[in-house]
Amino acid sequence: MVKFNRFTLDNGLRVLVHEDTATPMAVVNILYDVGARDEHPDQTGFAHLFEHLMFGGSVNIPSYDGPSQAVGAQNNAFTSNDITNYYITLPAANLETAFWLESDRMLSLAFNEKSLDVQRNVVCEEFKQRYLNQPYGDVWLRLRPLAYQVHPYRWATIGKELSHIEQAQMDDVKAFFARYYVPENAILVVAGNVETDRVKQLAEKWFGPITSRSKYLRQLPAEPEQQEARREVVYADVPLNSLYIAFHGPARLEDGYYAMDLLSDLLSRGTSSRLYRILVKEKELFSEINAYHTGSIDGNLFVVEGKPLPNVTLEVAEEAIWNELNRLKTEPVTDYELDKVKNRIESTMVFAEMAILEKAMNLAYFELLGDANGLNREIDHYFVVSPDDIQQQAGRLFRKENSSTLIYITDKYA
């Protein structure tokens, strides 16, 4: 049970406080309700670019890292298709420094051409190194637009194409900040050796004066139900043939999400999971194989990916995967098998409650979903999933007409 207190500032900033006297540390985590799904199709990659720009200094604090390091703090951030999250961990005695740093860049980020040029180049290099210039690096640049035709999940967090970042202009960046980096679009969580009254005082002092602006209304196009199988074959300079099969699955708050999550664990969590045990160890068809879902707030993708052994054809490998998926549709899983993955999920969640950073990030995320208390009820949703629920969800997911298959064929001359 993660206990917390909650209050909201007059400008709309939601603040959650988790008091934990067992640690001398504190975490200040701020989640902005903006991700790659909020970008314009012709200006993608902006949410991730902005994550970098936020460390370029604010009007009153030219160097973010300098004051942070001076008080023994560590900071970082991440961007997904749904959110952008910033955090700073530091000795609780230096808590006010984190409030000063985070509030100033929400109030007045320093917009200058030098910072934009530097961060634009950093992101462009990341795009090239991680997505364009390494084997299988462009998987999500291909798989997302293959599976999604309408919803903005059709591009990766890094963006659709390099040119969108290369051509980012100052006016575009300022407009992005003005729209999304506002108090009412943020959730602040403070966790660790802190007191709620003190946090409230600091929040009022540092974030209270920031003027509220109207929260934007998110209106994203719904992805229509897929009616036929899609397929793309890529000849590339990759070490091994590889295949990826993506299926549309339920959104984070829809019925079936927890059954889908358990399905991914049944198939590939650990060496006793079905895909590893049968296709890697027993039949010796794959060198590696995994199943997972994207964990998105809107409609998810459930992905099975594998690399067949050199002596195994892609046709045989693909058929073997479908055989295992179809078996889940026709044969109920045993209570023992299902309980095993439920227990693993429970242990993961228990360990997550031991770290104040994990607790802070999870509280912010569940508050975004509707109620931070959902974190404390999360495991209950898994425990009520039955073998019949698993079988029904497998039947909804694993259909040919619901699949998008991406295949890499090794070709050193490509």
Catalytic residues, by residue number, are 51
307 Cα distance to chain centroid: 24
49 Cα distance to chain centroid: 16
Contact, 341 vs 387, CB < 8 A? no
Report the DSSP beta bridge partners of residue 245: 304, 405
Q: What is the DSSP letter of 59?
A: S
- What b/e sequence results for 264-294 when a residue is b if at least 16 CB atoms lie within 10 Å of its CB, and e otherwise? bbbbbbeeebbbbebbbeeeebbebbbbbbb
Tokens found for residue 376: 């404390």
Contact, 94 vs 86, CB < 8 A? no
Cite the DSSP H helix spans in 181-280. Answer: 196-206, 257-268, 274-275
Within 13 Å, how many C-alpha atoms sit on residue 347's CB side?
6
Rounded to the nearest 5 degrees, what angle is found at the Cα of 342, between the Cα atoms of 264 and 301? Answer: 25
Task: Centre a 10 Å sphere on the Cβ of residue 309 and count the other Cβ atoms it contains.
Answer: 14
397: phi then psi, degrees, rounded to nearest 5: -80, -55
Residue 65: helix, strand or coil by DSSP? helix
Task: Centre a 10 Å sphere on the Cβ of residue 108 and count the other Cβ atoms it contains.
Answer: 14
Q: What is the DSSP letter of 303?
A: E
Residue 315 burial by CB count (10 A; 0-12/13-18/19+): exposed, middle or buried? exposed
Tokens found for residue 103: 């509030």
Tokens found for residue 234: 């890529």
Task: Centre a 10 Å sphere on the Cβ of residue 311 and count the other Cβ atoms it contains.
Answer: 8
| Dist CA 347 CA 92 (whole Å) | 28
Contact, 48 vs 157, CB < 8 A? yes
Residue whose token pair is 């890499």: 408
**Length of the chain measured in residues:** 414
